[in-house]
Amino acid sequence: MQSLLDSLVIDTENDHNTQDTAKRVAKMWIKEVFGGRYNAFPRVTSFPNMGYKSMYTSGPISIRSTCAHHFQNIVGNAWVGIIPNGEVIGLSKFNRIVHHIAERPQIQEEMTTQIAEALQEYAHTKNIAVVVKAEHHCMTHRGVREHESDMTTAIMLGAFKEDPATREGPWRIRKLKKFGKILKIGSLAMDILMLEKDLIWVRHLKSYINWSCLTETNSFKKSILL
């Protein structure tokens, strides 16, 4: 790290602000930002499943990772879905597994795959779904400098891959949580809900959440009736 600072012609000897920067950055990378590479995998204990065989989800789980190409932040959230078998793991273990795998330089596609494979192993079930949505600072702070383009990746394994209805489950629950939060904001959020695909989806699920969506000839009417 000191060699990098020297190559950038940063006078660390005479600038008191950067005299210990190399040490601070190296310590930060090893113990925090890239901790998943150097720290042991978190201890994950399981206990007997008392007969629950349906899907459950956990999320959003915070994602703090680093792009391997430019060492820029990847910041977002993960959602996991699971259909358990004979054993289950504690709810906090999903967060610990996701955080551990995220804390290293990588690309989002690989991270999503590794999370899914680890959950299969430690949750003792092949039925795993993982959805990750994140902002990449290699796009927001350099290059195109685009702040409206998040990346979403998804891995569906077991029943989530084989059965279309099951596969839709994590997406529906994620959307329900999203809409629930938006509705709490009030009328200012109506523009956010005007995406055609979202309104079609809400109309499709109105029997579950008792929503009705109205349309006009040229655009969706900015009104949702509860």
For the chain, list the domains and their CATH numbers: 1-33 (no CATH), 39-163 (3.30.1130.10)
Per-residue pLDDT band for 173 (boundaries 50, 70, 90) equals: low
The whole-angstrom separation of Cα 57 and Cα 50 is 17
For residue 145, the model assigns a pLDDT of 84
For residue 204, the model assigns a pLDDT of 41
Do the beta carbons of residue 4 and residue 14 sit within 8 Å?
A: no
Structure-derived torsion over alpha carbons of residues 160, 163, 169, 175, reported in degrees to the nearest 10: 100
Do the beta carbons of residue 81 and residue 160 sit within 8 Å?
A: yes
Do the beta carbons of residue 197 and residue 178 sit within 8 Å?
A: no
11-20, 67-76, 193-202: the lowest-pLDDT one: 193-202
For residue 146, the model assigns a pLDDT of 80
For residue 174, the model assigns a pLDDT of 57
Per-residue pLDDT band for 208 (boundaries 50, 70, 90) equals: very low
Q: What is the DSSP string of 69-115?
A: TT--EEEEEEEEEE---SEEE-HHHHHHHHHHHHSSEE-HHHHHHHH
If one compares 162 and 98, the residue with the highest pLDDT of the two is 98
Looking from the CA of 110 toward its CB, the CA atoms found within 13 Å total 12
Cis peptide, bond prior to residue 105, ω within 30 of zero: no
64-121 pLDDT per residue, tens:
999 999 999 999 999 998 998 888 998 899 999 999 999 999 999 999 999 999 999 9
For residue 150, the model assigns a pLDDT of 85
Instruction: Please indicate, yes or no, whether the overall pTM of this predicted structure exceeds 0.95.
Output: no
For residue 143, the model assigns a pLDDT of 83
- Outline where DSSP puts E strands in the chain: 46-48, 56-67, 73-82, 87-89, 105-106, 128-136, 151-156, 212-215, 220-225
For residue 203, the model assigns a pLDDT of 40
The whole-number average pLDDT for the span 204-210 is 39
Amino acid identity, residue 19? Answer: Q
N residues, the chain: 226
